[in-house]
């Protein structure tokens, strides 16, 4: 028997409250019971996204909401600035290109963090830019870009700021209204602690004006139709009813812990993981680490996929390797959503064993000790 532990950056583990909600008999979606459930979820989403505006919900993985953000705001031939510093930044660029939007990339070396001046100068050179797309927590490199600082420079301009917050919402501060973010995209299988299948867009007032002007084709992901239905606690098409039932439980758990405490917990897990790998002599990959996931450079002579494979096959622990061009460089330990200190201790102690088995001179206990010291000093 091998107990399974999921420490990948999505899907993430699901708390029993959410699992049990999905086991209950399904509700008819055109019924008062579903409408009451969805009304509760709509309020919970607003408080999680820190917005007083409607948060639109789609039945899709996170990329569906990314696509919705593009097709509801832009027109063919529009120009968009896209921050590209990893796989998910590339996805924004590919999505825009698929719809005939001209992409002006702001290239960042993978692992490095955006300097907001890079965006300011690009916007000043080309005032016709309609939108700036950014990935808040770039899951592929483990970098958290400074969206708050970026929002400061974009909010003076006409352009919309469209943020992939798929691994930052419920992990770190995402102040939709206070920072002036125009669209904030999230997905269900990351810090929302439920299975894949729901995706979200928080939409600002400034964005709604752009929606009226935008001419890209859309049907399933239409913002206006979705908003109109949601205001009646409905959706234009059959919603993923059981996922919505699970979402209610997850939002209630976040509310019960308190969003500030949820964010503090993720910070603590991230700091302990970073301290642990550094104590083992390994180097974190991200210049500005995301509290959702710790990307670590594999030591000289050991392929990251060997570490990932040993974790899974010998110890039942799922972590992630590198994506794209980072495949042979890094492995990634996630600590988002339904994650706590015991997960960090488990993964670090197992990493020590695996590294020793692979012939790397790791001192057993050193990584765990560094993490414990962080936990001792920052009681949850
Ligand atoms: C997981 C993830 C996505 C969405 O991917 P889906 O597979 O469509 O859910 C997008 N952006 C980031 C940063 C992610 O971590």
What range defines the domain where residue 338 resides?
Answer: 258-377
- Distance of alpha carbon 70 from alpha carbon 218, whole angstroms: 10
Q: Which atom of ligand 1 is nearest to the CA of 66?
A: 10
Select from 205, 230, 257 the last residue of a domain.
Answer: 257
Chain mean pLDDT for the chain? 97
Q: Which pLDDT tens digit goes with each residue over 61-92?
A: 999 999 999 999 999 999 999 999 999 999 99
Residue nearest to atom 15 of ligand 1 (CA): 139
Residue nearest to atom 4 of ligand 1 (CA): 62
For the chain, the C-alpha Rg in angstroms (whole number) is 21
- Distance of alpha carbon 233 from alpha carbon 294, whole angstroms: 38
Residues 233 and 288 in one domain: no
Residues 118 and 251 in one domain: yes
Expressed in angstroms and rounded, the spacing between residue 88 Cα and the centre of ligand 1 is 7
- At residue 262, the pLDDT reads 98
Find the mean pLDDT for residues 152-180.
97
Q: pLDDT category, 156, cuts 50, 70, 90?
A: confident
Please indicate, yes or no, if residue 354 is contained in any of the structural domains.
Answer: yes
344 has pLDDT over 90 = yes
CATH number of the CATH domain containing 354: 3.90.1150.10
Q: Which atom of ligand 1 is nearest to the CA of 196?
A: 9
Expressed in angstroms and rounded, the spacing between residue 135 Cα and the centre of ligand 1 is 10
Please indicate, yes or no, if residue 6 is contained in any of the structural domains.
Answer: no
Residues 269 and 217 in one domain: no
Find the mean pLDDT for residues 372-377.
97
Cβ atoms of 262 and 170 within 8 Å: the answer is yes
Residue nearest to atom 14 of ligand 1 (CA): 166
Please indicate, yes or no, if residue 234 is contained in any of the structural domains.
Answer: yes
Dig out the tokens for 208 from the structure: 């709604």
Q: Which atom of ligand 1 is nearest to the CA of 10?
A: 1
- Report how far apart, in Å, the C-alpha atoms of 203 and of each of 19, 47, 150, 185, 373 are: 29, 14, 18, 9, 41
Residues 283 and 251 in one domain: no
Please indicate, yes or no, if residue 157 is contained in any of the structural domains.
Answer: yes
Residue nearest to atom 2 of ligand 1 (CA): 166
Residues 205 and 292 in one domain: no
Phi, psi of 41 (to 5 degrees): -65, -40
28 has pLDDT over 80 = yes
Expressed in angstroms and rounded, the spacing between residue 27 Cα and the centre of ligand 1 is 28
- Distance of alpha carbon 310 from alpha carbon 42, whole angstroms: 42
Expressed in angstroms and rounded, the spacing between residue 87 Cα and the centre of ligand 1 is 10
379 has pLDDT over 80 = no
Residues 6+ apart with CB under 8 A from 42: 54, 55, 230, 233
Helix (H) or strand (E) holding 211: helix 205-213
- At residue 1, the pLDDT reads 79
194 has pLDDT over 80 = yes
Q: Which atom of ligand 1 is nearest to the CA of 137?
A: 13
Please indicate, yes or no, if residue 1 is contained in any of the structural domains.
Answer: no
Dig out the tokens for 322 from the structure: 């590198």
Find the mean pLDDT for residues 263-275.
98
CA proximity to 99, closest of 224, 207, 216, 213: 216
Residues 144 and 263 in one domain: no
Residues 6+ apart with CB under 8 A from 6: 12, 13, 318
CA proximity to 134, closest of 201, 206, 86, 200: 86
Please indicate, yes or no, if residue 242 is contained in any of the structural domains.
Answer: yes
Task: Supply the DSSP symbol for 368.
Answer: H
350 has pLDDT over 70 = yes
Q: Which atom of ligand 1 is nearest to the CA of 9?
A: 15
- Distance of alpha carbon 137 from alpha carbon 263, whole angstroms: 14
Please indicate, yes or no, if residue 2 is contained in any of the structural domains.
Answer: no
Give DSSP secondary structure letters for 307-351: HHHHHHHHH-EE-EE--GGGTTTEEEEE--SS--HHHHHHHHHHH
Domain count for the chain, please give it.
Answer: 2
Return the HEC string of 39-95: HHHHHHHHHHHCCCCCEEEEECCHHHHHHHHHHCCCCCCCEEEEEECCHHHHHHHHH
Expressed in angstroms and rounded, the spacing between residue 166 Cα and the centre of ligand 1 is 6
Angle at 230 between CA 132 and CA 337, to 5 degrees: 60
Q: Which atom of ligand 1 is nearest to the CA of 167?
A: 15
Residues 23 and 146 in one domain: yes
Residues 117 and 179 in one domain: yes
CB-defined site of ligand 1, < 6 Å: 9-10, 61-63, 88, 135, 139, 164, 166-167, 187, 196
Expressed in angstroms and rounded, the spacing between residue 62 Cα and the centre of ligand 1 is 5
Select from 242, 257, 272 the last residue of a domain.
Answer: 257
380 has pLDDT over 70 = no
- Distance of alpha carbon 28 from alpha carbon 44, whole angstroms: 21
Residue nearest to atom 5 of ligand 1 (CA): 62
Cβ atoms of 334 and 8 within 8 Å: the answer is yes
Expressed in angstroms and rounded, the spacing between residue 181 Cα and the centre of ligand 1 is 19
Please indicate, yes or no, if residue 7 is contained in any of the structural domains.
Answer: no
Q: Tell me if the pTM is above 0.95.
A: yes
Q: Sign of the CA dihedral 111, 115, 119, 122?
A: negative
Find the mean pLDDT for residues 214-220.
98
Probe target for ligand 1 pocket from 10, 192, 194, with the most ligand atoms within 8 Å of CB? 10
Residue nearest to atom 12 of ligand 1 (CA): 166
How many other C-beta atoms are found inside a 10 Å radius of the C-beta of residue 258? 10
Residues 108 and 126 in one domain: yes
Dig out the tokens for 348 from the structure: 């670090």
Q: Which pLDDT tens digit goes with each residue over 79-133?
A: 999 999 999 999 999 999 999 999 999 999 999 999 999 999 999 999 999 999 9
CATH number of the CATH domain containing 252: 3.40.640.10
Residues 162 and 32 in one domain: yes
Beta-ladder partners of 131: 80, 160
Q: Which atom of ligand 1 is nearest to the CA of 292?
A: 15
Expressed in angstroms and rounded, the spacing between residue 170 Cα and the centre of ligand 1 is 14
Within its chain, how far is the Cα of 50 from the centroid? Answer: 16
Give DSSP secondary structure letters for 240-251: -HHHHHHHHHHH
Q: Which atom of ligand 1 is nearest to the CA of 64?
A: 8
For 168-181, give one letter per residue: b (16+ CB within 10 A) or e.
Answer: bbbbbebebbebbb
């Amino acid at each position: 028997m091998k107990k399974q532990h999921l420490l990948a950056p999505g899907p993430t583990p699901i708390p029993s409250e959410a699992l049990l909600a999905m086991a209950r008999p399904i509700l008819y979606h055109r019924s008062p019971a579903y409408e009451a459930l969805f009304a509760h979820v709509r309020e919970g989403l607003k408080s999680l996204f820190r917005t007083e505006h409607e948060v639109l919900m789609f039945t899709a993985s996170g990329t569906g909401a990314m696509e919705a953000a593009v097709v509801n705001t832009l027109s063919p031939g529009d120009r968009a600035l896209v921050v590209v510093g990893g796989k998910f930044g590339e996805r924004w660029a590919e999505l825009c290109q698929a719809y005939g939007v001209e992409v002006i990339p702001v290239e960042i070396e993978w692992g490095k963090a955006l300097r907001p001046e890079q965006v300011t100068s690009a916007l000043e050179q080309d005032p016709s830019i309609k939108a700036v797309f950014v990935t808040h927590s770039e899951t592929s490199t483990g970098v958290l870009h400074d969206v708050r600082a970026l929002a400061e420079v974009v909010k003076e301009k006409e352009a919309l700021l469209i943020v992939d917050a798929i691994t930052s919402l419920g992990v770190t501060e995402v102040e939709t209204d206070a920072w002036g973010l125009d669209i904030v995209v999230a997905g269900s299988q990351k810090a929302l602690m439920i299975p894949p299948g729901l995706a979200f867009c928080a939409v600002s007032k400034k964005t709604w004006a752009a929606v009226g002007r935008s001419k890209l084709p859309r049907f399933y992901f239409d913002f206006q139709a979705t908003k109109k239905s949601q205001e009646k606690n409905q959706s234009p098409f059959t919603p993923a009813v059981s996922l919505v039932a699970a979402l209610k439980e997850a939002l209630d758990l976040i509310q019960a812990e308190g969003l500030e405490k949820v964010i503090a917990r993720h910070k603590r897990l991230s700091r302990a993981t970073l301290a642990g790998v550094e104590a083992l002599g390994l180097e974190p990959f991200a210049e500005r680490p995301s509290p959702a996931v710790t990307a670590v450079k594999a030591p000289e002579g050991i392929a990251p996929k060997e570490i990932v494979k040993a974790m899974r096959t010998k110890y039942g622990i799922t972590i992630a390797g590198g994506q794209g061009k980072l495949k042979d460089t890094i492995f990634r330990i996630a600590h988002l959503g339904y994650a706590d200190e015991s997960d960090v201790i488990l993964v670090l102690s197992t990493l020590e064993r695996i590294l020793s088995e692979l012939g790397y001179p790791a001192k057993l206990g050193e990584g765990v000790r560094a993490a414990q010291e962080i936990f001792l000093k920052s009681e949850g």
